[in-house]
Structure 1
Amino acid sequence: MTERIVATFNVGSSSIKVAAYAATPAGGLGPRVLRAELAGLPDAPKLSAVAANSDMACAFLARADISDLRLAALAPRLIAALEAALGQPLAALGHRVVQGGRHNHASRTATPELIAELDSLCALAPDHQPYNLSAVRAVDAARPDLAQTLSFDTAFHRTQPRIAQLYALPRALTDSGILRYGYHGLSYAHIARHLPERLPAHRHQRTLAVHLGSGSSLCAILEGRSISTSMGFSAMSGIPMATRCGDIDPGLLLYLMSDRHMSAADVSQMLRKQSGLLGVSGISGDLRVLEASGMPEAEEAIALFVYRIVRECGSHISALGGIDALVFTGGVGENSRHVRAGIAAGLAWAGIRIDPDANAKAAPLLSPPGSPVSVFVLPADEESEIARDCLALL
């Protein structure tokens, strides 16, 4: 290949997603040339890859060495396998970083000072941030010649009015950085960018985006800008998720620690890993497993999930002053027709209707002709946003 190529890393505790994109002659984002995922970490790692050129995907899989799953070894080896498959060096590598803090409103080039600043925010996203930053450090140690950029999940929400970011806490705590940050910003940025392009005939000024996956949230997007979102200070807040609790009475947490004698570490583990769909069902945090189960506990977990989403939707429709478009994205939003149907039924009061046949097929447009609110399914694509940011910084 002769085009300039940038790659993206989306590193979490259980998976690493890698993608490579060609740049256009003008320096903009061109086509994706390869996408790979190492899933099932750390116990059952499985590497897969797809590319427009099947030989390239095969070459990547043949070269990728995943015998050592420590990021210090794994990240540079994935880069080496990618460059071998491409037949040329990368121009740069862009990373997803979940928490960017108060002052990072856009993507930035990685520096030791910035990494140190972001390291102090790990407590806000303990299941993501340490892995994000470890990958940056690993690549820098092995390939100091390779430029790295950072794209923040919180940046998209920094356009929100100050009032939407505040908690009713003492001002000194607010001034120290205890705010509603919001997450999944790269996914929402993709929706804000591509919805008008893909469906220009539809009104989209007041868009409610619903990102449903192992982590789930909602975002009210007014004329392309975030004005409110369901997640707040941490990625545990908002609606229930696969294993995370969502919003919870702070008095309950005080009770668990004072009367049930649970430690802060025990409470953290429960809220992050043992709650949500898994906690309510006692079966699984995977919605696919619950939908196939038929057990009453599974049905109750799904019903609670949908109920809480519908309630949260009402809040953000109010913030928007109405709604023109509803967008489903994320693994659950894109694939669960039952969840989409339940949410649509709960929002019928807002003029939301979906065609059952279109919903069964997960068609791009779910709402029937003449509906007052357009309802869409738009696949999540955080990687293209990271690549776009990376090219813009080069």
Structure 2
Amino acid sequence: MTSNQIVVINAGSSSIKFATFDFNTSLTKTMHGSIQNINSAPIFKVVDEQGNTLTKEEFSADHDYGYFYELLLSYFAKSGKKAALIGHRVVHGGMHYNAPVIVNTPIIQDLKKLIPFAPLHQPYNIQAIEIIQSLHPEITQVACFDTSFHRTHPAVADRFALPREFEAQGVHRYGFHGLSYEYITQKLLELSPDSGKQRVIVAHLGNGASLCAIKDGKSIDSTMGFTALDGLMMGTRCGSLDPGVILYLMKFKKMDYEEIEKCLYQQSGLLGVSGISNNMQILLEDPSITAKEAVELFVYRLYREIGALVSVLGGLDVLVFTGGIGEHAAEVRENVCQHLAWLNVKIDAAKNLRNQPVLSTADSAIEVRVIPTNEEWIIANHAYGLYLKQ
């Protein structure tokens, strides 16, 4: 028997990640998977929610993206799970799109204007929408933006000290990881109803990493700015950097745009400092000096930025760790919380080692939690809600 499904797609430069959810209010996740290495040695893999591999196929690199989107939708149909609605993660929504939207041609054209602000992600997000629109125009598609949650920032938080003409052209801070922060905010409200009126900092720590300051349920500041390169040290991204370094690399090292982009996005962060890996777990287990220095710098940048956001919030009530590192790296959480002792942050060491949902002790002035993020679910939820309102 065929069942309608909501398909969530996260399209990248060399991969397509996806998940399916039941087309009803339960939004039960039914399967997930990816198509990896599209430009070199494509692998299509689907896994059910019990962890069983449903299919794993290898393909030659001479297939284009259109082939794989058709493959994906055909697979769902043959599996009895018809794609009735598709929700897309779109990195950039600019200042105009402060909520998810059902996609049409004028909106696609609008989103293309934002490509210069997110050239490594936006083109592939849009490409996915356009290909599916051409293959299956009958399927409703919804765009959910990583920037939307941060449109509640005060203007001063997003302004650069540059000539006004650049701000008018869109050069200011946007913030990212918004879908993750939106999910955590909703989940936190379920777990602790008072959180809707509290001062919260969420640390989304994975290969990409950022912090968000949330007051009364709304984002008021974030460490990521004009691009997802800003803020915290990340797996392969440098985070905040003196702009003078870029000028130095251009003038004295004769590096061009492509070389600098590759350095800042792919060769820096944990990988660049350690010279070993962008994987935090590998570095925590590595005894070398460079591995320890990379972890040390990651933690230092993290608690320094938390301190800044505490000032913006005027205090702190709840600290939430999420993302791959945030949810699983007990040593990172412990080191960060030790450096927040001035805020009277206290965590239970045993609970921290077990990645328990609540880490703080009874006498801690600040509640410290671990909440797994679920960007796929928040996209499915938005898509379903908009579909019902049509």
Tell whether 2:356 aligns with 1:353: no
CA deviation string 1:142-176 (max 9, x = no partner): 21211111000000000111111111111121111
Tell whether 2:79 aligns with 1:80: no
8 Å CA contact 2:41, 2:60 repeated in 1:
no
Q: How does 1:362-377 map to 2 (within 5 A)?
A: 362-377=355-370
Amino acid aligned to 1:74: F
C-alpha displacement of 1:52: 4.6
Q: Who is 1:115 aligned against?
A: 108
Give the 3-state SS of the residue equivalent to 2:238 in structure 1.
coil
Q: Who is 2:266 aligned against?
A: 273
Q: Who is 1:99 aligned against?
A: 92
Give the 3-state SS of the residue equivalent to 1:243 in structure 2.
coil
8 Å CA contact 1:204, 1:324 repeated in 2:
no
Please report the TM-score for the alignment, with normalisation by the length of structure 1: 0.92
Q: Who is 1:17 aligned against?
A: 17
- C-alpha spacing 1:82/1:207, structure 2 compared with 1 (3 Å): same
Moved more, 175-184 or 4-13: 4-13
- C-alpha spacing 1:88/1:16, structure 2 compared with 1 (3 Å): closer
Q: Distance in 1 between matches of 2:282 and 2:43?
A: 20
Q: Who is 2:248 aligned against?
A: 255
Q: Distance in 2 between matches of 1:54 and 1:252?
A: 46
8 Å CA contact 2:27, 2:381 repeated in 1:
no
Q: 1:303 aligns with which of 289, 292, 296?
A: 296
Give the 3-state SS of the residue equivalent to 1:90 in structure 2.
strand
Give the number of equivalent residue pairs: 386
C-alpha displacement of 1:39: 4.5
Give the 3-state SS of the residue equivalent to 1:211 in structure 2.
strand
Q: Who is 2:34 aligned against?
A: 37
Q: Who is 1:133 aligned against?
A: 126
Moved more, 153-162 or 198-207: 198-207
C-alpha displacement of 1:370: 3.2
Moved more, 74-83 or 377-386: 74-83
C-alpha displacement of 1:50: 3.6
Q: Which runs of 5+ in 2 are unaligned?
A: none
Q: Distance in 2 between matches of 1:187 and 1:66?
A: 32
CA deviation string 1:96-126 (max 9, x = no partner): 0001111000011122222222223223223
Q: How does 1:174-185 map to 2 (within 5 A)?
A: 174-185=167-178
What is the identity percentage for the equivalent residue pairs of Structure 1 and Structure 2?
40
Amino acid aligned to 1:30: L
The CA RMSD over aligned residues, in Å, is 2.2
Give the 3-state SS of the residue equivalent to 2:28 in structure 1.
strand
Q: Distance in 2 between matches of 1:339 and 1:143?
A: 46
Please report the TM-score for the alignment, with normalisation by the length of structure 2: 0.92
Amino acid aligned to 2:28: P
8 Å CA contact 2:236, 2:278 repeated in 1:
yes
Tell whether 2:141 aligns with 1:148: yes
Q: Which runs of 5+ in 1 are unaligned?
A: none
Q: How does 1:337-348 map to 2 (within 5 A)?
A: 337-348=330-341
Q: Who is 1:329 aligned against?
A: 322
8 Å CA contact 1:65, 1:77 repeated in 2:
no
CA deviation string 1:28-59 (max 9, x = no partner): 4522222223446655655544435788x62x
